[in-house]
Amino acid sequence: MADGRLTPDQDALSKIDTTVPHSARIWNYWMGGKDNYEVDRIAGDAYREHAPTIETMARASRRYLIRAVTFVAGELGIRQFLDIGTGLPTYDNTHQVAQRIAPESRIVYVDNDPLVLRHAQALLTSTREGVTEYIDADLHDPERIIERAGKTLDFDRPVALMLMGILGHIQDYEEAKSIVRRLQAALPSGSYFVHYDSTDTDQALKEAQQGYDDTGAIPYVLRSPEQLAAYYEGLELLEPGIVSCPLWRPEPGADPEPTDIHGGVARKP
């Protein structure tokens, strides 16, 4: 910074607000990560007091991501992934799971959080055969995301569109559905939609979420399973459908307990 200008990393750090809790950092805290601040840990602990199952939900969502990406890359043979709402890297991120199965896999991560931007170098690791790219973009502008992702992904070939726990941050439900439709419209036939979001089926979780929203952080809207199912309209749902994430193709011998996170995988005809 000899010329007085901030480096990209310093610029990202300068934009991080450590006075207000942030969902990506709290999720990182619940997952056992270290990329969080005291304000996030306080909010995370307060949330957990109302909804003690939240850490189980957080870890179940990551295990679901691992199983879903393993299935899509392995059994379905998809080699391109567009993961929007990446969040902070923890363990077994999308590119790591996909490239273990197929080293030539191409992954584009999308987020617009400055702390995630700071950790972009951690995300931008790839096998020599594949590609891992990071885009700083806003989910409210899906056309821009597709345009920029198209520099890395070939939208003439199947792509796995991943929206994992992000659509609740779109406050207006009709807008959330519109964003999903516009993203899905850019995908060629044979692509897949991979998704989960938290549901409004538990009163303790609803109270905990309201307490979090009241902190001034970016709110997250809990929605009904029926509302989540609308994201899949026009697609071919794969078994077992839209279910509580631990129940989606559990590991052999597992005895999963359902949580208030629902998701599924569907194919675009």
* 108-126 residue pLDDT tens: 999 987 777 777 767 778 9
Q: Give yes or no for residue 137 having a pLDDT over 50.
A: yes
Q: Which pLDDT score, from 0 to 100, does residue 31 have?
A: 77
pLDDT band at 15 (very low <50, low <70, confident <90, very high): low
Average pLDDT value for residue range 209-215: 84
* 29-80 residue pLDDT tens: 887 778 788 888 988 888 888 788 888 888 899 999 999 999 999 999 999 9
Q: What would you measure as the largest C-alpha separation in the chain, in angstroms? A: 60
Q: Give yes or no for residue 1 having a pLDDT over 70.
A: no
In order of 103, 106, 153, 160, 188, the CA distances from 157 in angstroms are 17, 12, 8, 10, 6
Among 223, 230, 102, which residue's Cα sits nearest to residue 177?
Answer: 230
pLDDT band at 188 (very low <50, low <70, confident <90, very high): very high
CA distance 51 to 148: 38
Q: Which pLDDT score, from 0 to 100, does residue 8 have?
A: 46
Among 177, 217, 183, 181, which residue's Cα sits nearest to residue 197?
Answer: 177
Among 72, 73, 133, 80, which residue's Cα sits nearest to residue 108?
Answer: 133
3-state secondary structure the chain: CCCCCCCHHHHHHHCCCCCCCCHHHHHHHHCCCCCCCHHHHHHHHHHHHHCCCHHHHHHHHHHHHHHHHHHHHHCCCCCEEEEECCCCCCCCCHHHHHHHHCCCCEEEEEECCHHHHHCHHHHCCCCCCCEEEEEECCCCCHHHHHHHHCCCCCCCCCCEEEEECCHHHCCCHHHHHHHHHHHHHCCCCCCEEEEEEEECCCHHHHHHHHHHHCCCCCCCCCECHHHHHHHHCCCEECCCCCEEHHHCCCCCCCCCCCCCEEEEEEECC
* 222-241 residue pLDDT tens: 999 999 999 999 999 999 99
Within 10 Å of residue 254's Cβ, how many Cβ atoms?
11
